A = this chain, B = another copy of it.
């Protein structure tokens, strides 16, 4: 990939109103970051906005320089060492910033996530489960949070473990994990989606959780209170068609209630590493994914008139609705509806939601 293309892609990623879904759509439509960047002003204009605030070349150059300085690098979703599992996910990160050995993402991956305030027994279980999984050639994915995440990474250090953090790759959180994070970046794999210098804000955590789920054939939840972040990871894993597994606990322990609820809703109850491997099924079959495809400029879709555009916009409201539903109800071709939505999003009028749903902002 040329430096110019790399720069254009990063500018696209950092431009307001370009989310992961619209980034991939722009790339699919225009075939390259450079072409997409050039097309952006017209698209936003048709969506009803003025001149978009495109991230400058300077911002992107500084990001590239800083990433290099940190011994890290961008891996774009169409590059060979991007995770083949993560690539399949709707709204996959256009690029991940990594330090370490990305080869482990080509092997079977299992996420282990759970409570920050985990019990001693849960931490022990996480550590042992992670060690057992790595002994079977599995990469353990987690989020470097306190409690279960930390225990899972530590248990997996003898094998392969990937840590996905909500901050920039140069920000360590929680503070007590500075050393562990550095060790993982050195010997294992550290992954961030946000640019360097980003502090871990609340809104970054669900975003990070989708990456943990997306990287993994299955997600094991160990202790999770109702409405905890671990349940978001589990729900994303379910959305992505991946295996959702949970370790049960006493109903009288609030930290077990989220896991127990997951099991009631259909997650597989896990007691041993064999239960996990059984739930995942034959690992070789799991790794046989479709080969990655390069972005190529697609044929132009029939441009829509303002009247058509108004029909799609008129069907939108503050409640998220499935794009499929919009296609059905508008009676317009799917590609045309996607284009209108892209224009509206770039103009800051439409928001994307999990499950290929959109709403007015």
Chain A interface (Cβ within 8 Å of chain B)?
121-122, 124-125, 247-252, 256-257, 260-261, 263-264, 268-272, 275
Contact = CB atoms under 8 A, between A and B. Distances in A.
Contacts of A271: 251, 257, 260-261, 264
A256 to B, nearest CB: 7
A251 B264 contact: no
Contact of A251 (B248, B251, B260, B261): B248
Contacts of A272: 251
A251 B247 contact: yes
A125 B251 contact: yes
A256 B264 contact: no
A121 B252 CA distance: 8
Nearest to A261: B271
Contact of A250 (B250, B268, B275): B250
Given A263-B269, A264-B271, 17 more contacts: A121-B250, A121-B252, A122-B250, A124-B252, A125-B250, A125-B251, A247-B251, A248-B248, A248-B250, A248-B256, A248-B260, A249-B250, A250-B250, A250-B256, A251-B271, A260-B271, A264-B275
Contacts of A125: 250-252
A132 to B, nearest CB: 12
Contacts of A252: 121, 124-125
Nearest to A264: B269
A171 to B, nearest CB: 34
Most buried by B among A121, A249, A256, A275: A249
B264 A260 contact: no
A271 B261 CA distance: 9
A255 to B, nearest CB: 11
A251 B263 contact: no
Nearest to A279: B264
Contacts of A261: 271
